[in-house]
Structure 1
Amino acid sequence: MTAPVVKGYCPGALRPMMSGDGLVVRVRPFNGRLRRAQADGIATLAAAHGNGLIDLSSRGNLQIRGVREDSLAALITGLGAMSLVDADAEIESRRNVLVTPFWQTGEETEGFAAALTEALAQPDAPRVPGKFGFAVDTGRAPVLQTASADIRLERDAGGGLILVADGFDKGKPVASGTVVAEAMALARWFVEMRGDHSRMAALLAGGVALPGGFIVPRQRQDYLPRPGYTPLGAMVGLAFGQLEVKTLASLAKQGGCG
């Protein structure tokens, strides 16, 4: 049996990864949500240029599998036409932003996610490691604490915004107008202090102390996702996190995908 090869990075659309069944092209939805036309378009592109299978990653991304090298350019062009591609591979690698699935148009969560995405695309954005990620978990109660992220935006028990370093049980109170700047500052602190560490929790576990201000207790997540109906639509479970293109196309016809 051939030993698995560790690539050391996560695939993207602009930086795909070769796997046993062809290239893996990861699509990272902006603001953690796909419009109906985008979901249907991804299904069409995956059928035309891949092997018909799509993975759903733990960070809410879609991975088109089995892409042929001679089809990659056409696939990227199609994704770009649906506004699903970043300006370049470096920006794409930094845009690991997980967003609570329960946000509604006009809420602060949408604005925070968009502003964070814009900040990560700037030339002076911190050069965080490829697997380093952010979570915008700013609903009334946290729902993403079991998901992988290094810097989190949450709310305390009183509804105030807090900035959280993964692995620490307290957050720093922040204002709506400064929350993204504070998140970028914490990311820069991590880059400066990280040494050989690639994740925030590992850095803190190694004894490095956070800057001042992380004093507000975090809420503890009691939400457990289950397939079924929610006030914002149906939650669907996928066996082993994989689906066929016809399933995604069918879901797209029912509404947007979060």
Structure 2
Amino acid sequence: MDIRQLNFAYVPKSGQLQLHEIDCRIPEGKITTIIGPNGCGKSTLLGVMSQNYKPTGGEVILDGKDIAKYKAKELAKKLAVVHQQNEAPPDMTVEQLVRLGRMAHKGLLSPQTDADEEAIEWAIASTNLLPKRSLPLEQLSGGEKQRAWIAMALAQRTPMLFLDEPTTFLDIYYQIEVLELVRELNASHGLTIVMVLHDMNQAIRYSDQLVVMKDGRICHQGTPRDIMTAELIQTVYGVKAIVREEENAGLNVVAIGI
């Protein structure tokens, strides 16, 4: 995916841009994480990249074609999105939710095929939800619910997966569980993954590439080891930090003041 000279405003004629001249390339088969301060445009950029928002300028190119020219079902076979906040009937089971991911491949009344069943089984197994498949969503923990939504996206069988703040509202155990799942999906199945995260150290640990944003612009992009410096953190976040190599944790950021 290539993002070229992208601009976006919620009110196109207002002149108040939320995204300014965004240029970025999403490498195939890698994990790219968008980071930056609150309100900098991270989720907005992901929304434009997934055609939830229409850009006011520039283009997003997927497999050589502007995503604006994809029909909804056609795009849904290319990329799947797990939003920051998701809603479903509380009595819906995990398997029922995951089955909704197959809608991109069929009409509303089309019968289930062997390919559908295979995709559903794979999605549930890949997210370690086989023992929970018959449970209603209301009986799941926060981490299990997030894995269920990821399973629904996986059932689309797309080569790209977008995750908007997948660790929000989760305690640290389930944050790590979800991020380990993301890394496994990338390593074992070659998925190209783009996610938005707040935690810098989690982004460093679980990403091949970082896209750092501030005030609706991309100010740095590259591998964590190449770009993550104390100077960058001071410029982007306004805090003093130490970036150091730790024996068991790898590259690590420690904030020390403002």
Q: TM-score, normalised by structure 1?
A: 0.23
Q: TM-score, normalised by structure 2?
A: 0.23
> Is the strand fraction higher in 1 or 2?
2
> Is the helix fraction higher in 1 or 2?
2
